[in-house]
Amino acid sequence: MEKSASIKLMVLLTALALICMPLLAGAGEEGNGDTGSWLIRGAEIRTVTRGNIHGGDILFRNGVISEIGTSLEAPGDARVIDASGMVVTPGLIDSHSHLGTGVTWLKSEENDGSGPSTPHMRILDSMHPEGIVPHAGSYRDALAEGVTTVISRPGSGNVIGGQSLAIKLSGGTIDDMILKHPADMKMAMGRKSYPGTRTRMGVAQVVRKAMRDALEYGRKWERYEEKVQEGSELPPPERNLTNEAMLQVLKRELPVHIHCSGIADILTAVRLGDEFGFYKLSLAHGDESWRIADELAERGIMVVVGPNIVVYDEAGNLINLPSYLVEHGVEINIMTDTDIVQQEFLRHQAAVAIRHGLSQEEALKAITINPAKLIEAEDRIGSLEKGKDADLAIFDGDPFDFQTSVQWVFIDGSPIFVKTD
């Protein structure tokens, strides 16, 4: 029997046996809370942060990885998956997505459009849980390709679009799925016709005004609190949710993520970051970020590349943007910008970068640990390490081979997807 057929038969038999267990009823469709003990045995384990383990085992209990190594003993209550010939990676993470915002249904759910600056808006309030939106299958499609976490963002129809949200693709409601909220503040540069702006300088002015307004708002509250401590009985200042949201940016409590593609917009984003000390500034798309790669590396600015993976210079020479940036010391993510590229094609986006010269190691980092670091969740997700969440995918071959299929997906130690055909 050929290797691929043998693997498929083995997966099918294992899945059927486990699905017969009462605790596993429904696996492959929704999270089922089955977070007992699991042992994955004999796989190539790509830990991301601690190298690859060939013929390795990974044991997890109650949603957390408890041990990784070789020849691990299975606890008496553990269910065992024979993953010989397969590859295990952390669950894949897309750090720039609009999954769940209903953009293909309600059209404008990701962009409020009421004004150029809406930092108080939360994409959480536009999210549709699995089973409600007609396009809810996109959640299942993503899981079927190993995606376990996405950072869903407001669109770029406003200069300051609002607060992003990191979710795991498991749970009964969006509130159950939250990994981190807010994840960061989404902004957008460019000469687009944003509400109330006509030029690039007008767009930049929107950000500067929002920052100055937040600064004055913060000072007003500081003066009020000082007076109260001195014994004055003054009424508090009127609350302003817009300024409160931007005050989190000003105080470096909230990272900033800026949509920008051309070099003029990238330079403006960097300039604003320097001017106001943006915390963990990251750039979305960054098609011409290669032009100032060294400066971005020096500032520690991450570039979230996509949906364009390769770009061209004036002479028509192809530039593999991910590898070019990595070679110049810039930390990258690779994204789909769902629905520009469908969510399930995240690993294929990385495979395109590999095809043009990015190493497999850096490609895997760009869709696992780097996105986790972007939202400061690397202590929980993004790599396979003891003590981290048991979010992982099992592939029947190289994850970056277009013919490879996902066989199992776990989130928090629960089998969310099992391939049975």
Answer whether 400's CB lies under 8 Å from 363's CB: yes
Residue 373 lies in a domain: no
Residue type, 304: V
Helix (H) or strand (E) holding 11: helix 3-19
Mean pLDDT in residue range 265-287: 97
Q: Could you give the percent of the chain with pLDDT greater than 70?
A: 87
pLDDT at 276 over 80: yes
- Residue 365 in any domain: the answer is no
Burial of 140 (0-12, 13-18, 19+ CB in 10 A): middle
Between 3 and 355, whose confidence is greater?
A: 355
In a domain, 293, yes or no: no
Q: Decide: 260 and 188 in contact? Cβ < 8 Å.
A: yes
* Mean pLDDT of all residues in 130-152: 78
Range of the domain at 393: 3-91+382-418
**pLDDT exceeds 70 at position 102:** no
Distance between CA atoms of 100 and 132, rounded to whole angstroms? 10
H/E run at residue 321: helix 321-327
Which neighbouring-strand residues pair with 93?
Answer: 149
Number of helices followed by number of strands (H, E) in the chain? 11, 20
Give the burial string for 150-159 (b: 16+ CB within 10 Å, else e): bbbbbbbbbb
The amino acid that residue 25 corresponds to is A
What's the pLDDT at 130? 57
Q: What is the pLDDT of residue 173?
A: 84
CATH of the domain at 407: 2.30.40.10
| Other Cβ atoms within 10 Å of 291 Cβ, number | 16
Task: Evaluate whether 322 touches 353 at the Cβ level (below 8 Å).
Answer: yes
Burial class (CB in 10 A: 0-12, 13-18, 19+), 178: middle
Overall domain count for the chain: 1
Cα 266–Cα 267–Cα 269 angle in degrees, nearest 5: 65
Contact 94, 335 (CB under 8 A): yes
Is 108 a member of any domain? no
pTM attached to this predicted model: 0.90
Q: Do the domain assignments include residue 318?
A: no
Amino acid, single-letter form, for residue 225: E
User: What pLDDT shows up at residue 177?
Assistant: 92
**pLDDT for res 129:** 65
pLDDT band at 312 (very low <50, low <70, confident <90, very high): very high
Q: Could you tell me if 91 and 411 are in contact, meaning their C-beta atoms sit under 8 angstroms apart?
A: yes
Q: What pLDDT does 195 receive?
A: 75
Long-range contact pairs involving 164-169 (C-beta distance under 8 Å, separation at least 24)? 164/123, 164/257, 165/122, 165/123, 165/124, 165/127, 166/375, 166/377, 167/100, 167/127, 168/391, 168/411, 168/412, 169/139, 169/142, 169/143, 169/411, 169/416
pLDDT digits (tens, 9 = 90+) for 147-206: 999 999 999 989 999 999 999 999 878 898 999 999 999 999 986 657 778 899 999 999
| pLDDT on residue 72 | 96
Residue 108 scores a pLDDT above 70: no
b/e 181-209 (16+ beta carbons within 10 angstroms → b) = ebbbbbbbbbebebbebeebeebbebbee
Over residues 382-410, the mean pLDDT reads 97
User: From residue 170, how far is each of 29, 139, 160, 419 by CA, in Å?
Assistant: 10, 9, 29, 17
pLDDT tens-digit series, residues 212-248? 999 999 999 999 999 999 998 889 999 999 999 999 9
Q: In what order do the strands lie in the sheet with 282-285?
A: 160-163, 185-188, 256-260, 282-285, 302-305, 332-334
pLDDT in tens, 8-51: 444 444 444 443 333 333 334 444 456 689 999 999 999 999 99
pLDDT, the chain, mean: 89
In a domain, 59, yes or no: yes
Residue 342 lies in a domain: no
- Rg value, the chain, Cα: 23
pLDDT of residue 274: 97
User: If you write DSSP's letter for every residue of 120-161 in order, what string do you get?
Assistant: T-BGGGG---TTTSTTTHHHHHHHTTTEEEEEE---SSSSEE
Residue 76 pLDDT > 80: yes
State the pLDDT at residue 14. Answer: 44
Residue 40 inside a domain? The answer is yes
Give strand pairing partners of 165.
152
pLDDT band at 384 (very low <50, low <70, confident <90, very high): very high
> Residue 376 and residue 19: Cα distance in Å, rounded?
35
Report d(CA 392, CA 412) in Å as an integer.
9
